[in-house]
Amino acid sequence: MTEVAEVKDKGLVLRGDTDEKHTLENLNRFLSVVGAQDDRAMVLSLATFIEDTLGRLLIAYFRDCKATKELVEGFSAPLGTFGSRTKAAYSFGLVTEAQYKDMEILRKVRNQFAHNWEGVSLTRNDIQALIGQLSGYTVDHKEIKGGNREKMLGTLSTCCMELQIFLGRLINKKAEKAPDVSHRLTTIKPTEPGVRRYVD
């Protein structure tokens, strides 16, 4: 079972920030539940957790307004699905290419489990091939030992941790929100040339 709180002892992510410690404690609780689930429940839980986190990440990054909430939340919201949120997060530079690819693989594996009621397992050839494409990235850069289940849980739990930490930093104003690049045409010179604004 993956324990993300181990990283605080190594100083790789946490540097005494209580909010981030709280985030890791919550993640460890989530991962202890997920680690005990069968394959189907594990895949669906990881996908649901990341989909939810991506939605909150987009809301935290975008302008704080009704339009943002309508874009991300609610029935038929354009960014209301796992796939659309993953693509949006990558397009806006909120996740790395490796994170994006790992989440896309999770989405494809999740779809296999969600849309088939029998004959789906992590050992099925097509699902094994997808899991084989996961980055296997961990914060401490150690190889994930074990089979398909361990590789999926290890890779995606690292992704969960990174997204949650980034979300917390956006909320706590320790990371930059979307830059406000909007402008109006005017004949009056700007009073603060070159000042970069961020959306409220």
How does pLDDT run across 111-154, given as a tens digit for each residue?
999 998 788 999 999 999 999 999 999 999 999 999 999 999 99
**Higher-pLDDT residue of 24, 139:** 139
Rounded Cα distance, 116 and 56, in Å: 29
Rounded Cα distance, 124 and 129, in Å: 9
Q: Rounded to two decimals, what is the model's pTM?
A: 0.85
**Higher-pLDDT residue of 184, 135:** 135
pLDDT of residue 199: 74
Task: Report pLDDT digits (tens) over 57-109.
Answer: 999 999 999 999 999 998 899 999 999 999 999 999 999 999 999 999 999 99
- What pLDDT band is residue 40 in, cutting at 50, 70 and 90? very high
Cα-based distances in Å from 134 to 128, 167, 198:
10, 23, 34
